[in-house]
Structure 1
Amino acid sequence: MGHFRSFTDGIGFFLQGVRWVARNPRWWLFGLIPALIVFVLYAVALYFLGTNLGGLAEWATPFASGWGEAARKTLRALVGVVIFGTGLVLSVVTFTAVTLIVGEPFYEKLSEKVEETYGEVPSGHELPLWKSIPRSVKDSLITLGYVLLFTVPLFFLGFVPVIGQTVVPVLGALVSGFFLTVELTTLAMERRGMARKNRFALLRRNKASALGFGVLVFLLFLIPLVAVVAMPAAVAGGAIMVRAKLAPV
């Protein structure tokens, strides 16, 4: 029961972020700018992936060339769905990291404003932009490495009948959700001088809350354009979560 309560608490932090940006529409619009830029780039990339699925599926299944037409087309259609699904999941997970890197000054300011409404803002650990961006890139690449460590096996499990259509999507949402929380809480945790290793350890200790927050964001980000609209709220919710539960001031 305690884990379920923590999971719902995580959902609640995102909803608090939504309420914050609803009360501060100027900051919501401010946070849309980098999200919109990255969304357009990702939309173009997914379009090209979608238009080349046939060739990619054929390349991935050369062994099926001698099969009957019906069996070959069925297999390659399934492979195409799995490839596009994997690309979609990776785009959702990496969208947050790339948007936070591109919009570092935007979201740093937005996160600070959120904390200001709750009281004193932690200080003393600020880095100049020329240091903070390379560090953000490095941390995001390491996080992506962890994501791939889980998603690559899930990709192949996606071909297993029944399990691939039931268990794998749930596991994928949990994994993606956790690492989305990692990304969205980074700004507030770095403001408290927490290194990557400490941030990961703190979120593992609060796994249920991290999953509640991240899985909801992941599911919302699967909907076209919602990722753009919800990104400022997700950043605000991450700041609130850190301040209220993970690392109170």
Structure 2
Amino acid sequence: MPDAAAPRTPSSAPRSFLIGARDLAHGFAFWSRRPGVMASGLIPAAIVATVLLAGLIALGAALPGIVDAITPFADGWPGLWAGIVRVAAGTALLGAAIVVVAVSFTALTLMVGEPFYDRIWRAVEADAGGAVPEGGGGFWRSVLDAAGLIARGLLAALAAALLGLVPVVGGVLGSVTAVALTGWLLADELTSRALVARGVGPGDRRRLRRAHRARFLGFGVATQLCFLVPLGAVATMPAAVAGSTRLVRSLVEDVAA
């Protein structure tokens, strides 16, 4: 692959961010072209989402007890301050859990649904014209990717949780950080298939992401925000695979030109 340089026509970061979000919109638009292929991607997403949602509901039910258990030092505090500390702790824990659920959903869905998402990826590549790349690691590569994504997601969750403990602004700061970090991780994972299939090594993938950081982030943040909508994760997953394929193809062709 040619060196992952900057695009031929430089774009401002906000514009590139919006282009990344538009890549996801193009992924949704692919429903009109190959509805059968896209619909198949709903199956693994629905299975994984059901399991993770059950876990998140269980956490929500147990959250008050968990917060009390980790903040015993606030038992003797005045009611107002004890409440503030415990609300902050609960918000931080819930935000961290959402980060873990988002990255786990993506990792597990891509792993479980490997054959389905491979069909979507190939359909997008074929629709765009030219030969469909034949590289890729198959199921076992998806297992390793899933483990790596979940591990990085845990670190992102920890960072978001710690920021969530900052007085007054912690809730907002932690939430924004969680969305940004999760979006970056999602963009990284979702674009890996199309890049690996083209023989792009880890070093070149990192350089490409750095050169187009705003676009990758825009795509990932848009995906993450869609995941937060009820049933949004299930509906978005096929579009995210299609959109990430389009994003990679656009960037690789731009670099090669």
On whether the aligned pair clears a TM of 0.5, the verdict is yes
Q: Offset of 1:246 from its aligned partner?
A: 3.8
Deviations 1:62-110 (A, max 9, x none): 2123334454344323322221222112211221111101101110111
Q: Offset of 1:247 from its aligned partner?
A: 5.4
Q: Mark the CA change 1:121 to 1:62 in structure 2 (over 3 Å): closer, same or farther.
A: farther
In structure 1, the residue matched to 2:3 is none
1:178 to 184, 190, 194: 184
In structure 1, the residue matched to 2:27 is 17
Query: Matches of residues 226-241 of structure 1 in structure 2 within 5 Å?
Result: 226-241=232-247
> How many pairs align?
245
The normalised TM-score by structure 1 is 0.89
Answering whether residue 161 of structure 2 is matched by residue 155 of structure 1, we say yes
Which residue identity is paired with 2:237? M
SS in 2 for 1:117: helix
Answering whether residue 74 of structure 2 is matched by residue 64 of structure 1, we say yes
Which residue identity is paired with 1:154? A
Q: Offset of 1:166 from its aligned partner?
A: 3.0
CA contact (8 A) 1:112 1:121 kept: no
1:113 to 111, 117, 123: 123
Q: Offset of 1:29 from its aligned partner?
A: 1.2
CA distance in 1, matches of 2:157, 2:252: 27
CA distance in 2, matches of 1:137, 1:196: 17
Q: Offset of 1:182 from its aligned partner?
A: 0.8
CA distance in 2, matches of 1:126, 1:166: 39
Answering whether residue 105 of structure 2 is matched by residue 99 of structure 1, we say no
In structure 2, the residue matched to 1:209 is 215
CA contact (8 A) 1:189 1:247 kept: no
In structure 1, the residue matched to 2:139 is 133
Once the two structures are overlaid, the 10-residue window that deviates more, 149-158 or 225-234, is 149-158
CA contact (8 A) 2:226 2:232 kept: yes
Aligned residues: CA RMSD:
2.0
Q: Mark the CA change 1:196 to 1:226 in structure 2 (over 3 Å): closer, same or farther.
A: same
Q: Offset of 1:33 from its aligned partner?
A: 0.5
1:85 to 79, 82, 95: 95
Which residue identity is paired with 1:149? L
Which residue identity is paired with 1:16? H
Gaps of 5+ in 2: 1-10
Q: Mark the CA change 1:173 to 1:136 in structure 2 (over 3 Å): closer, same or farther.
A: same
CA distance in 2, matches of 1:50, 1:75: 18
In structure 1, the residue matched to 2:44 is 34
CA contact (8 A) 1:114 1:236 kept: yes
